[in-house]
Homo-oligomer: A and B are copies of this chain.
Amino acid sequence: MARLADGRQLIYYDDTSDGESRPRPADSRQLPTLTVGSELRYDPIVDEWVALAAHRQDRTHLPDVAECPLCPSRDGALTEIPAGDYDVVVFDNRFPSLAADVGELTSAGDDLVPRQPGIGHCEVVCFTSDHNGSFAQLTPQRARTVLEAWADRTIELGLQPGIEQVVPFENRGVEVGVTLQHPHGQIYAFPFASPRTHRMLAAARSHRKRTWRNLFADVLATERKAGTRIVAENEHWTAFVPAAARWPVEVHVYPHRQVPDLPALSDAERDAFCHIYLDVLRRLDRLYDKPLPYIAAWQQAMVNVDRDLSYLRLELFSIRRAEDKLKYLAASESALGVFINDVMPEDVARRLRDLSD
C-alpha cells in the first residue's frame, strides 16, 4: 500500500509475484488536498437516502490521451499512478461521492429530511495500463487479478467504520457518462443498503417466508430449466438474460453455489468466472460490431445483515437498443419507475448465444 501526494491510498495488484520487484516510485506531484463535502439527505417521499456531492462538479472530464490520469506516469507526465507500469491498481478517487472524512454537516436538517455526513469510500480500479484496452480484451489471468482486487477490497472496505455495503462496478462508454476512457472500474462502499438492495432483500425475505427457499437460487434454477434466455454457462456459472429484463441488453451472471460475496468464492469458481465473463463481454462487443456501452455491478451481501438471504451475482446492462439508437430513461422510468423495454429477453439471449467466437 502506498500514499499519493495528497494522502490518498493506492494499492498495486500484480498478475504474478514477479510484479513485486518492479520499481514503485513515490508520487512526486504537488497535489492540494481537496475538501470533500458530501452529505446524505433522507427523501421522506420514497423512504430513500440521496447523496449530495457538490464538490464533484469540477471533476476531470474526458481528457486527451496525453493527459489521462489513469495511465502510468512517464517523464514529464505524472499521473495518478506513480509507477511506470502496472497490472492492476486500486486507489481512492480524487473526486469521491462519499469519503471517510467529510467534515461536519452544515445543518442537521429537520425531522422530515434528516441529514448525515456522506461517509463512505470511492475507489478507482484500473484494469490495465493499456489506455486503449478494455475488460473484454484482458487475459483470463488479468481478469483473475482484477477479481482478486475486488475480493480483497470487499474485505478491507467492509471493515471500515460505518460501512454496510461494498459494490465493485464498471461504467463503460461515453454513452453512460464515463469521463475517463482508460479501462477502469470503481468500488463504492456505502453506509447503508442501496434502495435496490433494500428491495431485493425484502423480496428475498418474502420468498423465503413463503417457500423456505432462497429467491435467487430459485431464479437461477428456473432460468437453467427454461434454457431460452441462457447466454453462456460453465461448471460453476450461468449467464442469462432475466425474464423481466428492464434494459435492451441485460445479462446476469450467477454462480451455481449460493455465496454471499466475492471473498467466499473458491479458487475454481474464481477461475471459472473469468472465463465466462470474458466470453460474455466479447459476445456483447460483437452484438453491434462495436464496443457496447454498459454498466456492470456486483450485487453482494450486506456487510453485517441478511447475508443468508443474499446471493452473489454480477448484473450487466446496456442502454443500446439498436445499432444506432440508445434507450433513454424518460418519464415512465425516471418519474414513475416503470421500465418499458423494446427488446424481448428471449430474442437478445438467442442473438448473444448464437454469436460465434
Chain A residues within CB distance 8 Å of chain B: 41-54, 56-57, 61, 97, 109-110, 112-113, 167, 169-171, 176-178, 186, 188, 190, 194-197, 199-200, 202-203, 206-207, 215-216, 218-219, 222, 226, 242-246, 295-297, 315, 317, 321-322, 325-332, 334-345, 347
Contact = CB atoms under 8 A, between A and B. Distances in A.
7 contacts: A44-B244, A45-B216, A47-B203, A47-B206, A49-B244, A110-B226, A297-B331
A51 B340 contact: yes
A97 B336 CA distance: 14
Given A51-B340, A54-B344, A297-B336, A43 B331 contact: no
Contact of A222 (B53, B56, B110): B110
The 4 closest A-B pairs by CB, nearest first: A177-B328, A195-B337, A194-B336, A297-B335
Contacts of A170: 331
Nearest to A57: B342
Nearest to A43: B244
If over half of A's interface residues share one DSSP class (helix, strand or loop), that class is named, otherwise mixed; here it is mixed
A195 B336 contact: yes
Nearest to A338: B194
Contacts of A337: 48, 194-196, 199
Nearest to A329: B329
Nearest to A52: B341
A345 B52 CA distance: 9
A150 B45 CA distance: 24
Copies in the complex: 2
Contacts of A296: 331
A293 to B, nearest CB: 10
Nearest to A197: B336
Contacts of A46: 196, 199-200, 203
A325 B321 CA distance: 23
A45 B340 contact: no
A97 B42 CA distance: 33
B171 A330 contact: yes
B50 A245 contact: yes
A206 B340 CA distance: 29
A289 to B, nearest CB: 19
A295 B45 contact: no
A243 B97 contact: no
B222 A50 contact: no
A342 B203 contact: no
A41 B244 contact: yes
B113 A243 contact: yes
Contacts of A186: 331
A315 B341 contact: no
Contacts of A169: 331-332, 335
A207 to B, nearest CB: 7
